[in-house]
Structure 1
């Protein structure tokens, strides 16, 4: 982090850097322009003045130039030990209209950021002035000394380069930097402040108020106020913000207050909520001996596992009878179930004769559509019985269904956005299915009835791609191995490619037409593919035209050979000239049958539409691909249901989560059984809603797969909390999921306190150090970061880790496991008195000396300043208005190589001394789980 950015004291661009201040308060840059003439001795130079606008010409700032205020508008808990600031996108803006009233190395900006309490000013509105106005009651008591404003502004460049390279980069491309105005005032706790960006020069003040320019005796560089004289002053402002400070505890102090829950507090926090079972609402007759059971929650104490159901057997049997009647629909219940229903619904021993005349209105059987034989039984243990017959998990499933009903419109909108893709896929599959029928009929009627050798000729372009598949009977008897193409088999058999070529047949047809009947030369006929009797000789008679062509070719070859042997046409008559004999190449051809090859081609042609479907449509199961036809698909709706659940029933996360003590850290586990039951009920309700609205689904899909908010893209199914419900085989709480194949419960950490509001999005992790009892900042094992998180209130948040409790409590790791809370490193802040460097980087909170469950912290050692990071308000002087006085020097600390407050100090070095490094807290796991 120290090398990730650099501060520069100022930045002035272009000719403004060389400009001077004229009598009228404007900046003037003087140039000499040389004028050359053709005549000797007439060259001359002419002085030219370039006049720039000054602070008296500014009546406003484009709001787009302001990048941000710190703290943001409306913050109510800003630490009074930190400094407010404003950042500008243009890195030269604070010095663009500055007049030369400062040192060369300390150019004073023309803007100042001030912070005023509500009792220090009065808002005047705009009136006839170009800018909004405020009246400060006393400049000496509320405003900074303008002589020190050179220390309030600096430039930041985010670059890992060294100082020389960063300086050159700033000159080459200034737009990659930005400017910042600090307000180094000691703020009071629990106080409302307003920030104003105001002009520093009198000409700018009067221009913003719509007044005449400053009088001549004031001078062009006169300042907007004089803290030495005091009194009221009216100021225009270009931008503003407001905030409120907290009770005076900075982030470091808040981290020091964190402690873990003791056993009593943890038990009270996770105390179960009982509900009675003796008067279920559906049944008329009560179950007086049913008693009560404890409600399941999404988070439970570490080591919690749901036990057997507390519902009596009679109650479960009655529930199963009702649910089976709903499931069976047309068939109705058995006699025993009918009698049982009558006894609990009407109090009579026999059912009414017309009981089945009216439709049964009963509670829903959750998840029955995912079963092959949907029927509930009380003598077996399955997840479907747990979620339907155990009241604890029926409540969870009902809560999931209620969450879907609350948000059905937005969920259906997301589903309809995926509808065109499903429809287009089914339209493509329908066309391919039609093509498959047409291809099969064409093959059966046309191609399959052709002679085998003709089929090979017609299918020549397809032979390299037609491969024999495993289990295919065609080609098995001729040595045609699975995976080999027809073209490859022909090549391996020695048959020239021309044997299966239409070009050869065309040539053969032309030669055959010019063979009249008659005696001729006896030639061996070429072997036809597939013919085992390929040795028979045939007679081919040549026509006169063909014999003439052969004689012409033979004579031409003879003359060419004689020309190569003779000299100038003179031949040796005594020597017989013999032409070299033509070389012949013997090719061994293995005999084979073409009918099996033709059958392979037929089968592969039949399979082409299916292969195209497999290529164009992904995501089909093997059964769907084999069955063919259109697809029934549920949309993918990766909505984190925990947010819906908390909005409807916050206590469903944990019974006493709202009563968690302030400034505490608690460790719990997710309740996988509760989460799976809730997700089942949500998917059951969503499938019913999809069917009701005509979405193409068979109600067996799992559109909702995420419970926790992991902040991941929708398409990343590898991070889903549950897998397809059709694959569930185990009891509730034991199903494997893409993000957790072993089905183990994840560790969840709850933090309550002002530190949650301060950090907003802190960096949390679990470290396994290299040494027992000692936390190391960079352990060999990579830290475990939270995979999901959420907020229940501005001061209460939870963070989940994809790691099991058994992993941390293993005897080989419990002494080396630490929970780390870190302030985000990218949030640059400025202030004083936040503790030493060792405290910020290695804040070790332990249980020693703080009572049961308490945590204490290392504190700053009083005495001499040992490092610039220990710089506090007590080390610097402040004026009457509590602004830091920059005209002072400090001795360089012995433990630092930087001279930030020496004689060569500037706004960049002072800003570096104000910069606060991120704070970290480390909580050891040892002792946290003791006694639980």
Structure 2
């Protein structure tokens, strides 16, 4: 059941902090004041009074704040028993500009009021210099200004206090309406300051805007007209009813000793048949006699009612008494002695009289009643048709799905659903979200990819042609299982990272093969630290000790297998050094110029920095072509090589100190590689 709560006033915002209490007689202040303080740049706070708008600041009222008026504008037959009223959207609007606070448990005067006067006495008119229409009427036609707070309240729907749509504020006009009279309802200010502000003037206080013994001129914020009809309402008509005693009204005796001429009745029994209205002083009616004869008669009646006998195919069947309510109760017979409504209705003659009268009324008005029933059934038929169409759509959709969708493979189904991937649910998320979270690339679930690999597309026909030439037993349709195969891999298009082809790794210290000016950059690229011994240094030391165990000749050095590249790559990688991270062919095509520089295949020239001796011994200069392999394994040994002069070739032992002369043959160098050329 809907419940309403009412309040005498409502305050929100800054107005709820006002401290000047309303005793219903105060005429000041015109504006409300709130004590506040402010601090700027962390300086001490200073009091800053805040002034709120009052009734003297209102020049007009927004009509959108009015959500309902009664009676409606232009009503020709308004009831005379109800007060005119106006409702506002804001619950605090009637008290919004009242510059006072209510006493605890007390009242608060509204700043505007609703007045209602006969239209023949006054009408709001525009006057020069005044922004609002002016209502000029005798103060005796207006409500008592001391009681205006009693005609304003707030209504709230119980259980929906926090819903602004369930709360309204309301003003009533305390005017008793007369029948067949034209009235004018107006919203006017209640304080003198508001009256002057509505006229475009200044000044005034919280005194009443009018008095009963003088004429009033009030600015009108909003107005409408209506007319009343006949005096009274349903309550008035009910009051006109007069009670007149009627002896024995509401009951009539009925002899049921022989209900039918051919059948004996329940005996000399007289029962009282009641009507819908009975006298209040009548006692309870006589009960149905309970004896063997009455029980036997009810049993005979139950057996003779319509529906108790089946259709025996006779051409002239017996017309039996009707079984009232059989279609409503879905029953074919009445049971004697039962207390159900169907049994009591058909086996008690008193109730059968009322049922017969009702049946006669229905038969008399059956055409109109059936027309009304078909009218009411129209919506039911429309609803049933909608349900039938929905069932047909579901059946057709199921058959289409079984015939065209279920036979599809996973790839074909994904391509079919690609246009709807963002709107098709795949579990708890959309199909697009599921593809994005899987190993499949998102682009493979788009219509662009489906169009590119369609069976009759250009790409599929070319691939099928090439495939059939290479393998006649290949599938007829290319890319048929591309998505399924890729999803089964678990990695999609991702590959295992590996070292690029041509990466060069060294097993010797960088300072042995890199010049001093480039060494810090190489160490920084390798991320080495001087605090701990890197793994590549340990491996290089092992290789050096292994090389010192024997003095290798050129043939033996060439035949010795190099260290496994994978072992070197695992501990020392110079992928960030441009001159080192190059293919083997790049190193083979690199030349040493007579100026002791390296000439790379790209045309760039750089100092060697690789033949610098660490012991200060003079080194030779290579003139000619370099040949052999670069395999620096020993940190302490030299290198062996041979020279080939233009005119003759000689072989000699190394000179003391490692210096070479033009006639030198085999030389021991610090690189361990074989070279041929002219030396000086």
TM over 0.5: no
Which protein shows a greater Rg? 2
What TM-score results when the alignment is normalised by the length of structure 1?
A: 0.26
| Structure showing greater relative contact order (alpha-carbon pairs closer than 8 Å, 6 or more residues apart) | 1
